[in-house]
Structures are given as structure tokens and as C-alpha cells.
Structure 1
């Protein structure tokens, strides 16, 4: 779903173009539901520029954002107990921009570390791991073995993050959501249904945080 162009359909090279209309008709209910959710995200995002005193989730905890001005030094973010201390070099520096950069850096560290720890447990090896700001996905796995994760996962509890990592690692063995795929996920993440539901329940909430760069 793109703000500028609307619905985008991505299909494998082997998929017959003439089958797309039938596919869209079959998925009509799902597509309409996504449009409704997208409109809700747009509505909630109208005034999403964070300010000092607001809260933002990090690893499942709500942290208070405290803005400080540092008179010319580089912008920085420091996690201190239940606060995120955001030091800005000038009054014109964007709080959201600085926070997103910090979240992205933390995602590279934490998700990269967990993926490197979990992949040997599944007996699987991935090629590359990248952190992105996907519009519609928490993660993805390519046919080349590259893993991609949404930096906004850092707002979710750690067990939920692990579920998404295990989910994408499992795609290295089973690209489709077959019975065997879900059996593999369940073997290493028995509470996957609970974590999947958490993501669905909080999708709109997380999508509107720091949204200016997300859509």
C-alpha cells in the first residue's frame, strides 16, 4: 500500500499475469480491510511529531521521551532507566528523526545478535541481514537467503522479536507457509500464535509511531 500510488501487487516471475484479476477478486475482503486500516493509520498520524514528555515503546516497555538541547554537539539518544534522553544540537533538530536513527542502530545490534544466535539452533545459515522501514511487513526472506527486518520491531517485546526472526529463518527451509513451515516455527517458538496475535493487535499503534518516515 503506497500513499502516492495506492495498491501495489507484487508477484513471482513465474506467476501468470492474466491470473492477477482473479487473485485480486479472491483477496477482495483482505484488500478492503487493509485500505480501512491504512486510512486509520493516516488519520492517527496527522499530529505524530513527538514532543518532550511523550512516551514511546521500546522492547515492550513505554519509555518517556526527555528532550534536551546540547548547544552544538551531535544529536544523541541515551537510554536511562525508563527514559530516553534525546540531546539535540539545535532547536530546529527533529526529535522524530533523531529517535528513528537511534532505533535503527539498536535494531541492527539487537536483531543481528539474535539472528546469529538463533540460526545455529535451527541449523540454518542466512546470507545477509538488513534493517529497513518496510511499509507492510515485519520481516522478509529472499530466495537468495537474505533476511530483512523492520526497525519498528524494536518497539515490541523481545519474545515477539524472536518470533519474527524465527519465522524468517524458517523460510530459509520452507519458503511458503506450509504445514511443515509452521511445525518448524512451533518447534523453536511454541507460543508463536500468541506473538503473531500481539503484532496484529498492535499493528496500527506501532505503525503510527515516528510515522513521518514510515509511509
Structure 2
């Protein structure tokens, strides 16, 4: 249900989701979906409004943070010397002509792309497609490794681990024991990626966010709150602004 928060200092549309199983009310700010409010099925609208008014200062700060992160993001030029994010750091893109072409490698602080010879597809278009594919391969490789490492600590084995282009979630766990992860986690620091991996592995034992679930997460990552805080504050920055596909 789409509605609005309307106060003296805020006028924000939000999505209201009611659930028979929910016992509490919560609000989250999603960079893609905006403000989401979850509440019990029969909670009166007046109580929802009062809750949001109490949270108005927090809502303003979160919206401002997302706006500032978006404003600071600049499209990548995809030309030689461009800055590329990878595992929480900035790397320099280097493009070299190569008859074989089609490869990406990491050397120190450099992401090197071997493109085809002159006269073929423009180097910036080639480097973009090659690096984006490389990001996904790296996400698959690193996430598989971290799942294998942490599943021993949690004491579970997922039925499947898959990396996808998820727009709205960093990770998901299904009732059948499959784990799905957002490839953009490869842009985050490793300790943040590890938090998402452990979070989803713990869902194989506790498919909820109960105190028992968080206790399990804490037993593996005692500092999970700091890692979660980084993701909540900086998650909106884990995005690559791609150019629209060209029509030839």
C-alpha cells in the first residue's frame, strides 16, 4: 500500500506492508525503493503516523545520507586511468591493446584490461563490458570461498550458493537451504561481505531475526554491528553507473 508521511518538516511517500505474523512496527530506508514501513496487520493508521513522527529526525538523516552518497557518485569514464571500486578500495583502470583481447587481471592497485586492436569496438565500451563481467566472476569466486570458510563455523551446509544481480537485497536464504548473494558485494570491503555471508548462513538455522538469530551471528562475528552499520550507511555507494546500451 502506497501512502505518505506528512509532518511539518517531512513530506515523503512510503510503502506500507502489513503482516499477520508481525508484532512490531519498523521503518527502513531503501536507496531503490524509498521508505518501507512494516507493521502488524490490524495496527491503526494513527499509531503508524505517531511512530513515524517520532522517527522523523532519523528518517531525515537517512534520506540526507543517501542523497549525499548519490550526489558524490560520478559515472565511470571507462577510459585508461579511470578509478574503479573493488573490495572497498579504489583501483586504476589500465587498458592495453592485445590481439587476443578479452581479459581482465588485477596487479597491485591496477585493474588491467586487454582490449582488441584499433578499429574494433571502442576501448571504453569494451573495457566496460569486460570489467562488469569480471566483477561478477570475482563475486562468484570470493563469495563461494567465504561461504566455504564460514559454514564450518556456523555448522551448516547450504544446498546451493548463487550470485545474482539482485536490486533490492544483499543476500537471501530460501526455506530449501539455498543462498543467493548480490554481486555488488565484491565492491564492499571483505569484512562487510563476510557479514552478509554469515548473516545468510545463520538463516539456515534461524529463518528469522529473533534474538536467537542475532546471538548466533554474534558468536561468529562479535563485531557484526559495526559491519552491519557500514552496509547500512554506505550500501548505496556500492553501485556502478553503467551507460545505457547503444543501439546500432
**Moved beyond 6 Å, runs of 4+:** 7-12, 24-46
Larger Rg: 2
Question: Is the counterpart of residue 80 in structure 1 residue 112 in structure 2?
Answer: no
Q: Tell me how far 1:120 sits from its aligned partner.
A: 1.8
Match of 2:190 in 1: 158
Question: Is the counterpart of residue 205 in structure 1 residue 237 in structure 2?
Answer: yes
What is the correspondence of 1:1-215 to structure 2 with a 5 Å cutoff? 19=41, 47-71=75-99, 73-89=100-116, 90-92=120-122, 93-207=125-239, 210-212=240-242
Aligned length: 203
CA contact (8 A) 1:53 1:64 kept: yes
Give the RMSD, CA atoms, in angstroms.
3.3
Q: TM-score, normalised by structure 2?
A: 0.67
Q: Tell me how far 1:49 sits from its aligned partner.
A: 4.3
Structure 2: gaps spanning 5 or more residues: 1-13, 23-40, 244-248
Residues 36 and 9 from structure 1, CA distance in 2 versus in 1: closer, same or farther, beyond 3 angstroms? farther
CA contact (8 A) 2:76 2:82 kept: no
Residues 142 and 206 from structure 1, CA distance in 2 versus in 1: closer, same or farther, beyond 3 angstroms? same
Once residues 191 and 70 of structure 2 are traced to their aligned partners in structure 1, the CA distance between those partners, rounded to angstroms, is 29
| Higher RCO, 1 vs 2 (CA within 8 Å, ≥6 residues apart) | 1
Q: TM-score, normalised by structure 1?
A: 0.76
Deviations 1:76-124 (CA, angstroms, capped at 9, x unpaired)? 1011111000111244343222111111111111110110121122111
Once residues 109 and 144 of structure 2 are traced to their aligned partners in structure 1, the CA distance between those partners, rounded to angstroms, is 24
Structure 1: gaps spanning 5 or more residues: 1-6
Q: Tell me how far 1:200 sits from its aligned partner.
A: 2.0
Secondary structure of 1:176's match? coil
